[in-house]
Amino acid sequence: MKTISTILVPFDFSEVALNALKYALHFIENDDQAKIILAHVEEGEITEENKEKLDQVVQAFGTSLRHPIIPVVVKGKMIDALLHIQDETPIDLVVMGTCPDYNTCNLQTKTSEFVLIAKCPVIVIPNGYTQTSVKKIALIIDKEKIHNNKLLGILLDVSRRFNAIVNVLTVVNSDEHYGYTENDEKNENDIIYYLENFYSHHAFIEDTDIVHGLFNYVEDNDIDLVAILPKNHAQTPVTSEGKLTKALSQQTKVPLLAIDL
């Protein structure tokens, strides 16, 4: 089963990016094999000043790691540059920050766009979020059959690292059928198999607005991490445009794990 060993952290020297780095450091603190690539993207000319600043960050936060943080400075548009790094180096996970206000931070749009086209799982850390421990995870699925059950192996890796339980959540509209379907049974069996003893229970809640229902559940149940299985890279007929993934990555108040391979 695939494990996470190389984490890419985009870094623009902002508080948002620093929180993402701290989250990634906590993610690997008990893993002697894992390493972090800290990537700064310059749209203009690469300056020696920013190279030195990035080296200072590496020195400040990477001294206790078995594998030193690898600083990378690349030129280009952020999304294109990150995809290029993924093409050149096997990346198992991206941890990157975002912020909820269009007027004060352009990371929101860039992060939500990157999540949809990234070639690996991405954890989105919202602005102002500083907690690094994870005790409760909410996995969001719909009434359709899970399109790729191997994605659950990534969630198992995350659960093991934090020793976190996983609540599975399905938000349904009032006119949808609540009955236990063949898809529900298949999903349940896959979740039990892949998540082992970290799986807690499956909750069904009713709300005409999926995002609203999800965030209410997160707040009411003290969820530390929301996990989703985006379908925008899936094969037909279950592929989607990723509207829910984009909405969640822009509005989430807790870290969001978008699991894709």
What confidence score (pLDDT) does residue 99 get?
A: 73
What confidence score (pLDDT) does residue 66 get?
A: 84
Query: Partners of 122 in the beta sheet?
Result: 94, 258
What confidence score (pLDDT) does residue 63 get?
A: 76
How far is residue 210 from each of residues 61, 215, 232, measured CA to CA in Å?
A: 38, 9, 18
What confidence score (pLDDT) does residue 213 get?
A: 93
Per-residue pLDDT of 206-247, as tens digits, reads: 998 989 999 999 999 999 999 999 875 454 444 455 788 888
Question: Which stretch of 57-71, 91-105, 179-193 has the lowest confidence by average pLDDT?
Answer: 91-105
Per-residue pLDDT of 81-123, as tens digits, reads: 999 999 999 999 999 998 755 545 555 568 888 999 998 999 9
CATH number attached to the domain at 136-255: 3.40.50.620
Residue with tokens 């050149």: 88
Per-residue pLDDT of 131-182, as tens digits, reads: 999 999 999 998 888 988 889 999 999 999 999 999 999 998 766 555 668 8
> HSE on the CB side for 167, CA within 13 Å?
21
How far is residue 126 from each of residues 16, 170, 212, 228, measured CA to CA in Å?
A: 7, 23, 17, 16
Assign domain 6-126 to its CATH architecture: 3-Layer(aba) Sandwich (3.40)
Measured from the Cβ of residue 197, the count of other Cβ atoms closer than 10 Å reads 8
What confidence score (pLDDT) does residue 236 get?
A: 45
d(CA 119, CA 149): 17
Residues carrying CATH 3.40.50.620, the chain: 6-126, 136-255
What confidence score (pLDDT) does residue 241 get?
A: 58
State both tokens at 207.
Answer: 């709300």
